[in-house]
Amino acid sequence: MTALARELKLTDAEVKQAGLAGLMHDMGKAGIPLEILNKPGSLSDNEFHVVREHPKLGYDMLLKANISDPVTLDVCLHHHEKIDGSGYPEKLSSDQISLFAKMGGICDVYDAVTSTRAYKPAWEPGIALKRMASWSGHFDPVVFKAFVKSLGIYPIGTVVMLKSGRLAVVVRQNPDSLLKPVVKAFFSTKSKIHIPVIELDLSKNMDEIVGNESATAWGIGNIDHLWANH
Ligand SMILES: [Fe+2]
């Protein structure tokens, strides 16, 4: 949220509000039974109805806790609205949804689809952005474009193939050269073995990215530890 707010050239105070709203937006999930939240299969109509209560539930919790920041309250209540009016709880359409709620909606979906859940594996960052870009009527196109830009062409956590035949994961952006992020190489596709992890700044290194790659296609398990908390 803060990176997106900065990309949108919001003021420092608004960047802070956006970050706080991002932290508090899903408070209402605390009021949803865990067996519904973590259900591996698809939800029944009734369970889906319960889940859809969480924005209002969270909003009421925040008010009760004397949290009065209008952005926090707005993002909590409206982060599941969609610009075509098919979202919830109020079925707002594009011009009725605030900029902050549109930002929250995008960041929330990106976080959800790139996370492992009881009912689904995580999508890789590049794939997540491509799929989200194809959903018409869901996100505000201008805000989504800024979101993609804030993440970089190769978002952190993206697995890429290097010219040298090594697989690497993006750990940091180089703001001046989005095609050449800092990566950690961890696997040789030529010898099909893990190699000692080495950090490469591609803006200063001879190696380069030739494309996105699926780690699972190479039988590689979770590599989150290579880039998380970096
Ligand atoms: Fe939510």
Q: 186 CA to middle of ligand 1, Å?
A: 35
Where in the chain are all domains bearing CATH 1.10.3210.10?
A: 2-151
Q: Rounded distance, CA 155 to CA 111, Å?
A: 12
- What pLDDT, on the 0 to 100 scale, is given for residue 230? 61
| CB-CB contact of 183 with 213 (8 Å) | no
Q: 176 CA to middle of ligand 1, Å?
A: 34
Q: 107 CA to middle of ligand 1, Å?
A: 11
pLDDT-derived band at 178 (thresholds 50, 70, 90) equals confident
Q: What is the pTM of this model?
A: 0.79
Please determine, for residue 43, whether its predicted confidence score (pLDDT) is greater than 70.
yes
Q: 98 CA to middle of ligand 1, Å?
A: 16
pLDDT tens digit string along 128-149? 888 999 999 999 999 999 999 8
Q: For the domain 2-151, what is the CATH code? A: 1.10.3210.10
